[in-house]
């Protein structure tokens, strides 16, 4: 049986468990770069929301761009003169767990 609040629910958050079709991180111009392609904008933006919360917790923030279902993330440490540091590698690893 369904309770009223269940009837009101919208679609299941299927977005959060789906694997994107991506290559892994590459190092390019002193940045760790990874491109992600999702099924649609909702999936891409759900992913970005999760990354944003994780980044804020780490106090380490991505450069990123989003066009519809594509997200590109570039990680570098501006406190270290825009070089790749352990903090970038940690955030990359964390981001990987959010799409796994």
Ligand X SMILES: C[C@H](O)[C@H](O)[C@H]1CNC2=NC(N)=NC(=O)C2=N1
Binding site for ligand X (CB under 6 A): 59-61, 77-79
Q: Which is nearer to ligand X, 50 or 60 (CB)?
A: 60
* Gap between the Cα atoms of 67 and 42, Å rounded: 11
Phi then psi for residue 70, to 5 deg, are -110, 135
Two tokens, residue 74: 């570039």
Q: Which is nearer to ligand X, 37 or 50 (CB)?
A: 50
Q: Which is nearer to ligand X, 19 or 78 (CB)?
A: 78
Q: Residue count of the chain, please give it.
A: 100
Least distance in Å: CB of 97 to ligand X? 18
DSSP 8-state class, residue 77: B
CA 69 to chain centre: 12
Least distance in Å: CB of 37 to ligand X? 23
Least distance in Å: CB of 59 to ligand X? 5
Q: Which is nearer to ligand X, 18 or 61 (CB)?
A: 61
The alpha helices in the chain, defined as continuous H runs, are: 4-7, 41-58, 86-99
Least distance in Å: CB of 45 to ligand X? 21
Q: For ligand X, which residue has the nearest CB? A: 79
């Amino acid at each position: 049986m369904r309770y009223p609040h269940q009837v009101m629910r919208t679609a299941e958050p299927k977005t959060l468990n789906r694997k994107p079709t991506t290559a892994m991180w590459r190092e390019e111009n002193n940045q760790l770069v990874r491109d992600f392609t999702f099924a649609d904008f909702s999936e891409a933006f759900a992913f970005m929301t999760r990354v944003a919360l994780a980044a804020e917790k780490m106090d380490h923030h991505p450069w990123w761009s989003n066009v519809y279902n594509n997200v590109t993330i570039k990680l570098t440490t501006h406190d270290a003169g825009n070089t790749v540091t352990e903090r970038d590698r940690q955030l990359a690893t964390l981001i990987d767990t959010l799409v796994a």
